[in-house]
């Protein structure tokens, strides 16, 4: 079942980021669901936000996450997202 989560979104070049509700679809084969417990941003996010890498807006910020996940059925493990 699809879930609604909160995420930090950069809406456009040099615009302030904002927290929005995002719909996450059910995982497909070979995918996992991870409940992110902490997330950080890196300098690359700043370059994206300033339009220095491309102009594909809006984009979600925060590629460095850590959380608890479920792979397949009834299996849990901790994994650092990359």
pLDDT tens, N- to C-terminus, the chain (82 residues):
788 988 889 899 989 989 999 998 888 888 888 888 888 888 888 888 888 888 888 888 877 788 887 665 544 555 665 5
Distance of CA 18 to the CA centre of its chain: 13
Residue 63: predicted pLDDT: 72
Give the angle subtended at the CA of 82 by the CAs of 77 and 68, to the nearest 5°.
Answer: 25
Pairwise CA distance, residues 32 & 45, whole Å: 24
User: 32 with 68: CB under 8 angstroms?
Assistant: no
Q: What is the pLDDT of residue 18?
A: 93
Q: What is the pTM of this model?
A: 0.64
CATH code: domain of residue 50: 3.90.180.10
- Split into its structural domains, the chain has a count of 1
């Amino acid at each position: 079942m699809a879930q609604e989560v909160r995420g930090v979104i950069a809406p456009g070049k040099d615009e302030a980021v904002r927290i929005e509700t995002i719909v996450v679809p059910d995982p497909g084969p070979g995918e996992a669901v991870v409940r992110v417990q902490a997330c950080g941003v890196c300098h690359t996010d700043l370059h994206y936000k300033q339009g220095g890498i491309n102009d594909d807006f809006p984009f979600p910020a925060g590629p460095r996450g850590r959380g608890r996940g479920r792979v397949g059925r009834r299996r849990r493990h901790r994994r650092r997202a990359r």
